[in-house]
Structure 1
Amino acid sequence: MSYYHAEHEAAYQRLKQQGLTQWSALFGETESFDAFPNRPFLEDALTRLELPAGADVLEYGCGTGPAACFLAARGFQVDAIDLIPEAITLARRFARERGLDINFSVQDVCAMGAGSKQYDVILDSYCLQSIVTDPDRVSVLAAVRARLKPSGYYILSTAMYEPDRVYEDNFRYDATTGICSQSDGKPHRRHLRPAALRAELETAGFRVIAQEGPHQGDLICC
């Protein structure tokens, strides 16, 4: 089992048991399905980009689908994937309740591959920080680049290095790599500084056209 699987499976089981609607609600960060954490940034980004009507969007790591539903409600054609079957089951339910047609599927983003369909937008709503190792991150970014149309945009929101953050006793943070590991050495998160994240994206073949937010973790790339 991959290092990222058990935590996410357990989280979505808890989410269902507690009657919550999205990942961030487990930590008291949101009160409703529609108030997903990167909604303000996503709304603003969409006003800045010249996208065709009914643009094709792929969201990976979609969770229970709040961002996917937001996009579909605005006329985008949305494919959305997540590693955890329980997350996709809930996402389909929430989309159905809103009368939205979204192509949800269970898929591991780290094994996503190039694929045959290309997209106008590929969206990451706080997934990338859970992809910790260099090989996995290289694989994800390569798949994003391969699936993005030449005129398309990669919209990314990710947790970043915070100078004042104190990690719990059972976690260790390596400032040179940005990797936070559990006490047993198991990878947990990757929290990069702004310049390091930008360099990683540029090395993967993207051009960063906007990097903003409190810790510079909201990006638009092409």
Structure 2
Amino acid sequence: MSASHHPSADWLLAYASGHMASAHALATAAHLSNCPHCQLQLSTLNELGGNLLEQLPPSAMSGDSWQKMLRRLEPGSDRAHSPATGNAANAINTGSTATASRSALPAPLQKLLPNGLPRKWTRLSGSVRQATLKQLPDGTLIALHHIRAGGKVPQHTHDGTEITLVLNGSFSDQHGLYQSSDFLVVDDSVEHTPTAVQNEDCLCLTVQSAPLRLTGPVGRWFNPLIRALY
């Protein structure tokens, strides 16, 4: 199934130029691995960038330029990724074990989860589970979320940016339907209640810069606990 929700042109430009944090690049690379539409856009951006570089006059380089470039490519560097091949996953390591097939995951996530899906999940509600893959020093949380068929994530907004990539199944909210490979970026301007379709569980990759904030009349009382557990 082809994706119908994609990263914006500005988002892909930041990815192509390497001006993107590794966690965001990971989610983008995972989307690109299954989206011919965005692959074509990225190829065009790379070609334009190459043409612009060819038109620039040569400039002198410092004596340690080679060493600096090698340091930037080392695992752990925030810029250690290649837009063309989606190697952003190399910049993030996890010790998760697994129960599901590795081949079912997009290639960039296979590097994070070489044995498949994690064994350890935390139940957030009766129908929602979370498997934390990594929390970065700046507070960015990379996780998998599993929503049981017909299950709902409580009504909420976001105090930061959240990227969601649908890996399997689908969910809907007040703004649309999101299916396999769809890419969604939301912030505090969006308030929604994601709900999995009735006949299939939904699995998503999420990258959060801050914890979500429940906005329902009951849920908002749990926000201090959410912030404490983030």
TM-score normalised to the size of structure 1? 0.32
Which of these two proteins has the greater Rg computed from alpha carbons?
A: 2
Higher relative contact order (CA 8 A, sep 6+): 2
TM-score normalised to the size of structure 2? 0.31
